[in-house]
Amino acid sequence: MMINLRKVFLLTLVLLSSSFVVFCQAIQSPLELTYKKVDTLQLGLKIFYPPGYKKGEQHPTIVFFFGGGWTGGSIAQFEPHALHFAAKNMVAVLVDYRVKTRHNTSPFESVKDAKSAIRYLRKNAEELGIDANSIIASGGSAGGHLAAACFTNESLNESTDDLATSAKPNALVLFNPVIDNGKDGYGFERIGENYITFSPFHNIKKGFPPTIFFLGTNDKLIPVTTAEMFKKKIEEVGSRCELFLYKDQPHGFFNKEPFLSETIAKADQFLLSLHYIK
């Protein structure tokens, strides 16, 4: 019997569309909160809950910081990821933070905001349905830097933060992250000699959280050799780092298909191995 490929194709589209509608209906509208006030500025975050979430549950939580060189960017960048991981029975959070174009600030304020956000989520974990001991920080490019810096940077803290609450994530999911801010790395012209404390690459220590790292081999901002050294340094202190290289791909490759799906699938396996996804 001859198969009508056109009918098969149309049926597939209908099924995919139906699945997508059900998926979107299952994920609740995000909860929008202010996590920090700086003078008259209010910095917000969006929290996506798993389907069927009930008050009183505590879930592993993944927190996303957008990229943009600490200069621009939008929380919308990681909304596909947030929807995906919420469907995987995690809480997913998109964080806004201060950047140069919108707030005339430096990368130092961006780090302070990232740490404030993690502290806010951990301090209010019970109320927000978050497992305070299962917070994964994630981000792309400068956002990846912020995710890592929440663990590595001890010196930058907002004066209004409660330092008794840790800003350190329990794991990292990094998409072509800016990890080296030294003289041969990215952002030195803005960071200067403060790279000694600002740069994750220069502050790897025992207890570093398990990490997964995605990078294109044609990335002009983060050399493959830097990523390989980062992995080696993490392993030397007894921690885990999985590095996935994507041949000939440029900076930001993970934002588009097929790499969007491929990197998310790898992140799934990583988080599954840590028991954050069931």
Long-range contacts of 261-267 (CB under 8 A, 24+ apart): 263/175, 263/214, 264/81, 264/84, 266/212, 266/214, 266/242, 267/138, 267/173, 267/212
What pLDDT shows up at residue 278?
Answer: 81
What pLDDT shows up at residue 164?
Answer: 97
Cross-strand pairs, 33 = 45
- pTM, to two decimals: 0.90
What pLDDT shows up at residue 10?
Answer: 37
Calculate the CA dihedral of residues 18, 22, 95, 39 and round it to 10 degrees: 110
What pLDDT shows up at residue 4?
Answer: 47
Long-range contacts of 189-198 (CB under 8 A, 24+ apart): 190/70, 190/106, 190/107, 191/107, 194/108, 197/153, 197/154, 197/155, 197/156, 198/107, 198/108, 198/111, 198/149, 198/153, 198/156
What pLDDT shows up at residue 183?
Answer: 95
How many Cβ atoms from other residues are within 10 Å of residue 97's Cβ? Answer: 29
10-residue mean pLDDT profile of the chain (278 residues): values are: 40 39 59 97 97 95 98 97 97 98 97 98 98 98 98 96 98 98 96 97 98 98 98 98 98 98 98 95
Domains located in the chain, CATH noted: 30-273 (3.40.50.1820)
What pLDDT shows up at residue 28?
Answer: 72
- Beta strands 41-48 and 31-38 are antiparallel
Provide the 8-state DSSP code for 68: S
